């Protein structure tokens, strides 16, 4: 199998959204910088994606919504009508510079990732994972839905069993609804019960929803993986898997009360990836920049079989110490978040079986 490929676009090395928005934090840019500092990323395993054209976005989105998205992006503001009809220019989904370009680049990266694994392998696109986007409106910080485009590209290639696994703290509602009625797909979502968008409380034939309580930790997560997720995937026998690896399920995230460690998530993702010949691994939510950057950086290392260093080199620690977040008070920043990648090891008795 070919080595994993890291997919991104330089637009994501800059912070998007607007001041005081939960996503106005460093995420993909610091991941890229630390991976390069660790020697984990170079021209051989990095692919720069291109933004997709409007015509590609129109394969999922309504024409009126795309008109509005381009209009507000060019104007730098949304009208009252666009806010009401398309949910653009709200506090949740603000208008900011290069909005349309950023949306097109996110979808472009996920489509490229799917193309790169057509013959097998793993592609990692941390700027993807916008799983709430709807055909006719923005939703939950998401202006499109790149996981849907990823799934559709894999189906277009002729793969007839595509599993979608969502590990974000919020239910992957947009993806589930887009895949409804398609027997070629299986959607699995582990998410915090009662958390926005409030859906995902019931399961169906091709949608397995696993709502979990506040404080859900590694022990419960590993049990869910063993008893529900892995058996369901084994029964489905996917030809490809798409994962949304939101970091908001980690302990310390301000927009969730889940308490997972990145070590448990890395192990679970490796188990899932190992069940299929091709996998696209996307980002997702994550509103604590320290835990998000450590998780995705370490995930890229683990996908390649590289162990996280016990202590990061000084240059990498400087990158982490330079992160800021209005939603995390200074006294709540764990010093360990700026020194190493891995959270406290999962006890041996809790480790997932291969």
Positions marked active-site: 132
- What is the C-alpha separation between 34 and 178, in angstroms, rounded? 35
State phi, psi for 20 to the nearest 5 degrees: 75, 0
Provide the CB-side half-sphere exposure for 353 (13 A, CA): 6
Degrees to nearest 5, angle at CA 176 with 58 and 65: 30
Q: Nearest Cα to 137, choosing from 61, 23, 58?
A: 61
- What is the C-alpha separation between 138 and 111, in angstroms, rounded? 20
The DSSP symbol for 2 reads: P
- CB atoms inside a 10 Å sphere around CB 209: 21
Q: Nearest Cα to 47, choosing from 5, 108, 2?
A: 5
Cα 184 → chain centroid: 22
Concatenating the DSSP letter of every residue in 258-298 gives: -BB-HHHHHHHHHHHHTTSSEEEEE------HHHHHHHHHH
Alpha helices in the chain (DSSP H): 28-37, 54-57, 63-75, 80-86, 99-116, 146-156, 173-179, 218-224, 230-236, 262-273, 289-303, 314-321
- What is the C-alpha separation between 54 and 101, in angstroms, rounded? 10
- What is the C-alpha separation between 157 and 27, in angstroms, rounded? 31
Sequence-distant (≥ 6) Cβ neighbours of residue 44 within 8 angstroms: none
């Amino acid at each position: 199998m070919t080595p994993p490929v890291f997919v991104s676009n330089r637009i994501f090395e800059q912070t998007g959204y607007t001041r005081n928005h939960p996503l106005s934090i460093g995420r993909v840019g610091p991941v890229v910088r630390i991976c390069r500092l660790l020697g984990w990323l170079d021209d051989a395993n990095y692919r720069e994606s291109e933004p997709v054209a409007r015509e590609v976005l129109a394969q999922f989105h309504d024409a009126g919504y795309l008109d509005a998205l381009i209009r507000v992006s060019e104007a730098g503001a949304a009208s009252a009508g666009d806010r009401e009809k398309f949910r653009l220019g709200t506090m949740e989904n603000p208008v900011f510079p290069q909005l349309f370009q950023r949306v097109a680049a996110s979808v472009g990266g996920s489509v490229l990732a799917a193309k790169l694994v057509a013959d097998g392998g793993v592609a990692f696109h941390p700027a993807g994972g916008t799983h709430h986007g709807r055909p006719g409106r923005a939703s939950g910080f998401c202006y499109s839905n790149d996981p849907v485009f990823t799934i559709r590209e894999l189906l277009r290639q002729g793969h007839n069993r595509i599993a979608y696994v969502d590990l974000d703290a919020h239910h992957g509602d947009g993806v589930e609804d887009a895949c409804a009625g398609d027997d070629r797909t299986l959607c699995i979502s582990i998410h915090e019960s009662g958390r926005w968008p409030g859906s995902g409380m019931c399961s169906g034939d091709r949608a397995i929803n696993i709502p979990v309580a506040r404080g859900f930790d590694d022990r419960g997560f590993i049990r869910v993986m063993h008893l529900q997720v892995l058996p369901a995937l084994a029964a489905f026998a996917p030809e490809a898997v798409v994962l949304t690896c939101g970091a908001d399920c980690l302990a310390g995230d301000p927009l969730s009360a889940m308490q997972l460690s990145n070590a448990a998530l890395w192990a679970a993702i490796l188990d899932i990836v190992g069940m299929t010949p091709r996998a696209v691994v996307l980002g997702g939510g994550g509103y604590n920049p320290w835990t998000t950057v450590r998780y995705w950086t370490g995930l890229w290392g683990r996908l390649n079989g590289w162990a996280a260093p016990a202590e990061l080199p000084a240059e990498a620690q400087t990158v982490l110490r330079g992160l800021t977040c209005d939603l995390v008070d200074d006294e709540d920043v764990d010093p360990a978040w700026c020194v190493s990648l891995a959270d406290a090891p999962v006890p041996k008795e809790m480790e997932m079986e291969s």
